[in-house]
A and B are shown apart, each in its own frame.
Chain A
């Protein structure tokens, strides 16, 4: 597995050097950042073999190399992360490594890219092109670069994007020493695929997006390897094996923007070999601007999640949950912002508290705080496994 991934990255590097050669002496714009992160855990871990240190340190670095010509551009963004406790959290990735050719209303992009689809805040159902870097953060918003050939066509009536995805990226999971994992660790070295082509199955996707007045709409279709694996015990019961099924998925994302209201909806229909289910998330965000004559904006978010998947499908935490949150934007020079939210499972009462705060320090540093608390999970509930993994994360990033 690892060596084939390496080979793919290597061949991409060779491909890229060709693009770099084409770019010739034209100048590349370079910017970099380094993130130093520390997680502080409140309790001892629940499962055997998990490291019981209270703190977990990690360091990550990114460099963005960008080049732009008259009608083409290129981008290379390597990403490296080292985690002192959990080997599976250490990662070398290319978030972007592409070359794109632009014509009047077309664009052809070849290489690795990251693409986001969707509108909601509490769960991202429609977003499917990129694999989730599950160990980077539990919010599912960190992604792994996806190799693709992407053709985009812009018309007065909207944007059409077609994607050919020739290589599959596996999801990252915490290792056996790591926190925030399943009772048995996931054996990411031995994944199984429904397709005999395994990670070389060619996935296809199509997306249409546009806006009419106050309504923004996106329609998407995907056929290929599910980004979410099922997790099945291995033969000797020592680990869980990720099983990646073939799926067909249709997605809809919709936003209606009216005054200070944002109304949002995402819905999917997913078909697997022997099952089919729907999932949806919808809600609103309303913002009170400049409260009490200050420059602070206060946003209120409410989203309802529904997921009709059966028990033998990949596990999700967002199955029948209510999410409520408050967003504070101080609109100061340092862009100070806070998002505090609670996810509550209506059936099981499992509760997830999430607080995120960000502030720029000076011109080149950003301080991020994250607090994540999991409560009210009984044995058998989905979040029971991580019930002792409440943590506070402090991250300082330096930008160059």
Chain B
């Protein structure tokens, strides 16, 4: 359940592009990949993190309901496997203590376990449900988990102003199975190489959702994090905001904290 786009390390290792060097590639596909890889690499080496956030769900009539959750993430040094993450819900109160553990993969389905506190039961769940809504929000499971660099094919589509910045515009096509999207278009700024906006197109090719990422802050370890994400569904007029508090990096987290046996001991 990653919240920061693009954090595969394959690119940095395999392609070794220099951080500030100009992108010089022959085809729009190569150019797109290299822009995505540069953005992805800006996140390299964060180790582990913990953050609390609020998820605000808003229906077409403007009615709101809020969930509060904590997300812990463990960066895997081995770039052929994905990161591990743990989402723990605090509210609504009836699902307090519900937890989702994910071991992300690059192209294979992730391993996921759900902890149900009422029964104290750990359930292995099918992760083929990529396109399903995450806890009733406008974010699909894949919007959180399917953001490893090599999960997509890319194509460079030009340059555009994005707010005060200049952005590279990339088309990205999911390579993994069961995606709900035919394509995505992402805007990556040319200054600090962070994703500012993503458009999601449904399987029919119609524009479905727009994600805007704001309030980027750089931490002492050099990585950037957006602290306000707004997902708007243009077909249903529903919205979901994610509002993050400050991230903590290199907290006391290790592999032992991301095993299913931990799920009943989180609180």
Chain A contacts to B: CB under 8 angstroms: 29, 31, 33, 66, 68, 73, 75, 100, 102, 104-105, 107, 114-116, 118-119, 141, 152, 154, 159, 209, 211, 214, 216, 255, 257-262, 287, 289-290, 295, 297, 331-335, 360, 362-364, 366, 397, 399-400
Contacts and interface: CB of A to CB of B under 8 A. Distances in A.
Contact of A332 (B120, B123, B129, B136): B136
B92 A360 contact: yes
Given A105-B256, A152-B261, A211-B260, A295 B133 contact: yes
Given A104-B256, A154-B256, A259 B57 contact: no
A295 B126 CA distance: 16
Which one of A333, A334, A400 has the greatest number of beta carbons of chain B within 10 Å?
Answer: A333
Contacts of B65: 333, 362-363
Contacts of A255: 124
A163 B126 CA distance: 31
Interface in B125-142: 125-126, 128-129, 131-133, 135-136
Interface string B43-68: 00000000000000101000001100
A100 B265 contact: yes
A287 B267 contact: no
B119 A141 contact: yes
Given A107-B265, A159-B261, A209-B261, A399 B93 contact: yes
Top-4 shortest CB links A-B: A399-B93, A159-B261, A333-B136, A116-B121
6 contacts: A73-B267, A118-B121, A257-B126, A287-B126, A335-B135, A335-B136
B109 A399 contact: no
B136 A334 contact: yes
Interface residues of B, number: 36
Contacts of A366: 94
A363 B111 CA distance: 30
Contacts of A159: 259-261
Contacts of A119: 123-124
Nearest to A363: B92
Say what secondary structure dominates the interface of chain B: mixed
B126 A261 contact: yes
Contacts of A360: 92, 94
B88 to A, nearest CB: 12
A397 B174 CA distance: 42
Which one of B94, B131, B256 has the greatest number of beta carbons of chain A within 10 Å?
Answer: B94
Nearest to B203: A293
Which one of B59, B92, B123 has the greatest number of beta carbons of chain A within 10 Å?
Answer: B92
B124 A297 contact: no
Given A289-B128, A335-B136, A399 B92 contact: yes
A387 to B, nearest CB: 28
A11 B228 CA distance: 50
B93 A259 contact: no
A278 to B, nearest CB: 24
A154 B94 contact: no
Contacts of B120: 114-116
Contact of A399 (B94, B129, B132, B261): B94
A107 B257 CA distance: 13
Interface in B209-267: 256, 259-262, 264-265, 267
Given A73-B265, A107-B265, A260-B128, 16 more contacts: A33-B93, A66-B267, A116-B122, A119-B123, A152-B261, A154-B259, A154-B262, A287-B129, A289-B128, A289-B129, A290-B180, A331-B133, A335-B136, A363-B66, A364-B92, A400-B93
Contacts of B93: 31, 33, 363-364, 399-400
A301 B112 CA distance: 20
Nearest to A331: B133
A356 to B, nearest CB: 13
Contacts of A289: 128-129, 131-132
A385 to B, nearest CB: 27
A295 B260 contact: no
A214 B109 CA distance: 10
B79 interface: no
Given A107-B265, A333-B57, A259 B132 contact: no
